[in-house]
Amino acid sequence: MGYGPLENELINLAKSRGFRVGRSPDEEADVYIFKTNNPYVYLKGAKAYIHTSVMEGFSVVLLEALSLNIPVFTSDHKYGSREALGIYDFEFRPEYPYRTELGALLPVATDVNSREGQIWVESLPMLLEEYDRVPGERYVREKFSPEVIASRWRDIINSLE
């Protein structure tokens, strides 16, 4: 869901792999490319959430997918995508795809024909077969609930006194 400079490449790649591409949620398709303010309603029936952004801050949609126990396959932005998958070592240099119980990190790719892009192309079919549902709802509740976040802020504020 969303648009970007690789939109046409992604559409062509999906079609070349036999996927039906939809431009609106009203169409019957395997892959959808459209913009929405509320992706949560479209995630409910998804087999996986594939997050190919080249650059992004912490993406709430990763937690929304996980809260529905949907595996997440995401670009490794080092901050945000790693936290969403339970990786808190930001110096860690993974070998891609890096699997966790919640999904997998893949390299940031700006071209599907690049080495990084080929890792995505080669890994996604395998990852989709490996993952079904994940324990994401429990993880999101334990790590990102308002109570947990408030407790972390209290700890930070208390450490300043």
Which of 76-80, 86-90, 133-137 holds the top average pLDDT?
133-137
| Full-model pTM | 0.80
Q: Is the pLDDT reported for residue 115 higher than 90?
A: yes
Q: Is the pLDDT reported for residue 1 higher than 70?
A: no
Give percent above pLDDT 90 in the chain.
49
Q: Is the pLDDT reported for residue 136 higher than 70?
A: yes
Domain residue extents for the chain: 38-160
d(CA 81, CA 51): 9
User: To which residue do tokens 């959430």 refer?
Assistant: 49
Q: What is the DSSP letter of 96?
A: S
**Cβ(91)–Cβ(73) below 8 Å:** no
31-32 and 49-51 strand pairing? unpaired
Each residue's pLDDT tens digit, 33-69 = 777 777 777 788 889 999 988 888 788 889 999 999 9
Q: Is the pLDDT reported for residue 2 higher than 80?
A: no
In DSSP terms, 22 is beta-bridged to 32
Instruction: Read off the pLDDT of each residue in 89-103 and give the average, rounded to a whole number.
Output: 94
Task: Tell me which residue of 114, 113, 101, 104 sits closest to 142, measured CA to CA.
Answer: 101
Q: Is the pLDDT reported for residue 23 higher than 90?
A: no
Of residues 70 and 14, which shows the higher confidence score? 70
- Max intra-chain CA distance, the chain: 60
Listed in sequence order, the residues at least 6 apart from 19 whose beta carbon sits closer than 8 Å to its beta carbon are 29, 30, 31
**Cβ(46)–Cβ(131) below 8 Å:** no
Instruction: Read off the pLDDT of each residue in 119-139 and give the average, rounded to a whole number.
Output: 93
